[in-house]
Amino acid sequence: MKHSSPLPPGSARFTDRFLAPRIARNRAVTIPSAVRKCEETGRFAAFDLKWKPGMPDKPHIYWDSDVAKVLEGMANMLAYEPDAGLEKQADELIDRIVAAQQPDGYLNTYFTVVEPEKRWQSLFDCHELYCAGHLTEAAVAYFEATGKRKFLDAMCRYIDYIAQVFGRGENQIHGYPGHEELELALIRLYRVTGEKRYLDLCSYFIEERGREPSYFHKENPLVNLWNLQAEKTVRQMTEVTGHAVRAMYLYCGMTDLALETDDKELLAVCERLWQNFISKRMYITGGAGSNHWGETFTHDYDLPNTQGYSESCASIGLCFWAMRLLNGTGKSCYADILEQTLFNGALSGLSSSGDKFFYSNQLEVTSSMYEVGHYSRHRQPWFDTSCCPTSYCRFLGQLSRFCFSESSDGVDIHIPVAAEVKSRCGFAFGIESDYPWDGKVKITVKSDGSYRLGIRVPGWCRDPQIRVNGEAVQQITSCTVIARQWHKGDTVWCDFPMSVELCRCSNMVYGNAGKVALKRGPVIYAFEECDNGRPLSRLLIDPAGEFTVEKSEIDGIFFASVKGAALEESFEDTGKLYFSGEASFAAKTFTAVPYALWGNRGGTDMSVWMREKH
């Protein structure tokens, strides 16, 4: 069933002016910033197991996962570009982590020094298996990047211990992760070791989830199973539910398991959940999860703009899920959503400077908005719950996995950003483009041989053109395959014309009634106070007006802004809150910037959905 594999970080060198600066800044700024915060808050020191009651920096139940994600980020950057200093830093951190492992293989700082008597007693809420998952992913990534086995061997010991504790045996715990993540990590461990017991453990955790009587209700009769994706078995699921990040990680694990075991029924469940999500519960930016209470999905078409949640980790998780479905099925529709999420909701949580973060990503922000919990008008350098900053550490170093896939006979280009690519099958080529700001793409082959080149045609493109050595390709499909004998210097030209479009929304989403969103190619645009004044609600976009595109940059990141015609609504100032009277309108030119880059130039107010002139 498996179609292809994501291209690993070491197989592509990005040369574009949008993603490449982000990757470089991940090494220079984002990871070092996270390392400092982990040191300052005691996250690293927790692995020394020296904490005692009354001491500061009491370990938290999810601290291990933050450290693991920073370490996975280091591993991905080492795979992308060797760095002796970074590798030494990672080795020292690994020594610290492995030294905390208990004689039975257990590895968790909180339940070793804070509540050792409560090991495995609160699976629904205490993140033990979640932390094990992130540690496992970091160990796999580090082994793949460096070939060093110390961390990997330690995690194999830990997972072997978990396999003894959990299962359907008489003396085993019949539980499963409260916060999913270990499931997909087990598949990664299985793929790198070839040990089927890790695949079997993943299968147990996924298939046991939601069975009656509920294991979580044994722990706490009042626990909300819906929030935990445990109200029914996975094969009965028809809607994306509960905590959005947990859901995305579960669906990743389900998809992986379906592909590894050729389980067509389980894959059909994943595709059914996907369809529910993209057709009724996804923000136009690729945001996932509309409610801050429990960080959850709610119901169909509940997509508020000012109070929407769209956690950064959830959009990153969506990229991981889309990547799995894309590689497992070969269907370009998954790449369309992957691209839309990557260039919008997945990157909006990170500042252009690389060291400040949004936890939630609303589609409308005003200066009067309450900053409560993780709602913020400005990106922050860190959070008490810092899953999002550390997620960016590991996300940015593996962008090649989302843009390209490889198989034994060739490469698929899903997102044609400028890069130098060399796959493990030997096919090498360079891409020149200003994508996603320009749809003109030149591919130059750099190796001789018979290979298959797959080129995804974006779903938003109306009139695509592809030429090989000047000759037009006649059969252009959503995934155009060119299989031939290639020679160094062969060229493939792609033209994916981009035009500014006004997107409208189902009238089932009440908050978007009478409004439009601006889209060009895969990029969603935002209107900011610093360009258009405030309140933004006074502007009406003229659909008949002409749009112009201007190239710009911020902090070395290249982008395209859009200008167009609007009407500015005003009323006679009566000093009253409510009044009768006619509005007057004046012509105005608006400026919109990519949603992923809003909030980097000062000001507060921002909106994606704007009123439309009728």
Give per-10-residue mean pLDDT for the chain (614 aa).
Answer: 86 98 98 99 99 97 99 99 98 99 99 98 98 99 99 99 98 98 99 99 99 97 97 99 99 99 99 99 99 95 95 99 98 98 99 98 86 75 96 99 98 99 98 99 99 98 98 96 98 98 97 98 98 96 97 96 98 89 96 98 92 95
- DSSP tag of 288: B
Task: Determine the Cα–Cα distance for residues 62 and 38; give it in Å rounded to an integer.
Answer: 12
- pLDDT value at residue 300: 98
Q: Are strands 449-456 and 410-413 parallel, antiparallel or unpaired?
A: parallel
- Helices 63-80 & 387-396, crossing angle to 10 degrees? 20
Q: Are 154 and 98 in contact (CB under 8 A)?
A: yes
SS3 494: strand
- pLDDT value at residue 368: 74
Give the CA distances from residue 481 to residues 4, 12, 97, 181, 243, in Å, rounded to whole numbers and listed in that order: 14, 20, 46, 34, 38
Q: Are strands 539-541 and 449-456 parallel, antiparallel or unpaired?
A: unpaired
Q: Are 588 and 566 in contact (CB under 8 A)?
A: yes
Residues of each domain in the chain carrying CATH 2.60.40: 405-436+439-495
The two three-digit tokens of residue 610, written as one number:
């704007």
The two three-digit tokens of residue 111, written as one number:
């339940």
CA-based end-to-end distance of the chain: 50
Left if phi > 0, otherwise alpha if psi is -120 to 50, otherwise beta: which for 288?
A: beta
- pLDDT value at residue 372: 58
Three-state secondary structure readout of 266-277: HHHHHHHHHHHH
- pLDDT value at residue 371: 64
CATH architecture of 405-436+439-495: Sandwich (2.60)
Task: Give strand pairing partners of 566.
Answer: 541, 588
Q: Are 107 and 161 in contact (CB under 8 A)?
A: no
CB-based contacts of 161: which residues, under 8 Å, 6+ apart?
104, 105, 106
- Which of 170, 191, 269, 262 is closest to 229 using CA atoms? 269
SS3 323: helix
The two three-digit tokens of residue 340, written as one number:
């839309």
Give the CA distances from residue 467 to residues 92, 411, 444, 461, 524, in Å, rounded to whole numbers and listed in that order: 51, 17, 12, 16, 29
- pLDDT value at residue 603: 74
- Which of 134, 4, 68 is closest to 401 using CA atoms? 4
* Four-residue CA torsion sign, 97, 250, 333, 337: negative
Q: Residues 376-380: contacts with CB within 8 Å, 24+ apart?
A: 377/604, 378/599, 378/604, 379/349, 379/350, 379/351, 379/599, 380/356
CB-based contacts of 263: which residues, under 8 Å, 6+ apart?
257
- pLDDT value at residue 87: 99
pTM: 0.98
- pLDDT value at residue 321: 99
CB-based contacts of 349: which residues, under 8 Å, 6+ apart?
312, 315, 357, 358, 359, 361, 379, 388, 392
- DSSP tag of 172: S
What beta strand segments (E) does 316-448 contain? Answer: 364-365, 404-407, 410-413, 419-422, 428-433, 440-445
